Amino acid sequence: MSEFWTTEVHRDIYEMKYKSLKKLYSQKSEYQQVDVVETKGYGKMLLNDGLVMVTERDEFVYHDMIAHPALFVHPNPKKVLVIGGGDGGTAREVLRHKGVEKCVMVEIDELVVNACKEFIPQTSCVFDNPRLELIIGDGVEYVANTKEKFDVILVDSTDPIGPATPLFGVDFYKNINLILNDDGIVISQAESPYYEVEAQTSLLKVLNQVFQNLFIYNFSNLTYPGGLWSFSFATKKYHPIEDFNEARVKDSELSFQYYNPRIHRSSFSLPQFMLNNCKGLIKN
Contacts with a copy of itself, residue ranges (CB under 8 A): 5, 11-19, 39-42, 58, 61, 194, 218, 220-222, 224, 226-228, 255-260, 262-263, 265-267, 269-273, 275
Residue whose C-alpha is closest to residue 25's, from 94, 160, 117, 148: 117
List all residues 6 or more positions away from 165 whose beta carbon is below 8 Å from its beta carbon.
Answer: none
Residue 10 CB, nearest approach to a copy of itself (Å): 8
**Nearer residue to a copy of itself within complex by CB, 11 or 147:** 11
CB 216, CB 267: distance < 8 Å:
no
Residue 1 CB, nearest approach to a copy of itself (Å): 16
Q: Pick the catalytic residue: 35, 64, 87, 156?
A: 156
Residue 217 CB, nearest approach to a copy of itself (Å): 10
* DSSP SS3 for 274: helix
**Nearer residue to a copy of itself within complex by CB, 64 or 109:** 64
What residue type is 15 in one-letter code? Answer: E
**Nearer residue to a copy of itself within complex by CB, 19 or 23:** 19
What residue type is 151 in one-letter code? Answer: D
CB 81, CB 51: distance < 8 Å:
no
**Nearer residue to a copy of itself within complex by CB, 12 or 182:** 12
Residue 23 CB, nearest approach to a copy of itself (Å): 17
**Nearer residue to a copy of itself within complex by CB, 212 or 266:** 266
Residue whose C-alpha is closest to residue 160's, from 203, 107, 112: 203
**Nearer residue to a copy of itself within complex by CB, 143 or 270:** 270
Residue 43 CB, nearest approach to a copy of itself (Å): 11
Residue 184 CB, nearest approach to a copy of itself (Å): 26
- Distance, in Å, from the CA atom of 145 to the CA atom of 253, rounded to the nearest integer, reads 37
What residue type is 43 in one-letter code? Answer: G
- Distance, in Å, from the CA atom of 76 to the CA atom of 272, rounded to the nearest integer, reads 34
156 part of the active site: yes
Q: What is the 3-state secondary structure (H, E, C) of 151-198?
A: EEEEEECCCCCHHHHHHHCHHHHHHHHHCEEEEEEEEEECCCCCCCHH
- Distance, in Å, from the CA atom of 172 to the CA atom of 128, rounded to the nearest integer, reads 29
- Distance, in Å, from the CA atom of 243 to the CA atom of 38, rounded to the nearest integer, reads 42
**Partners of 186 in beta bridges:** 153, 234
Catalytic residues: 156
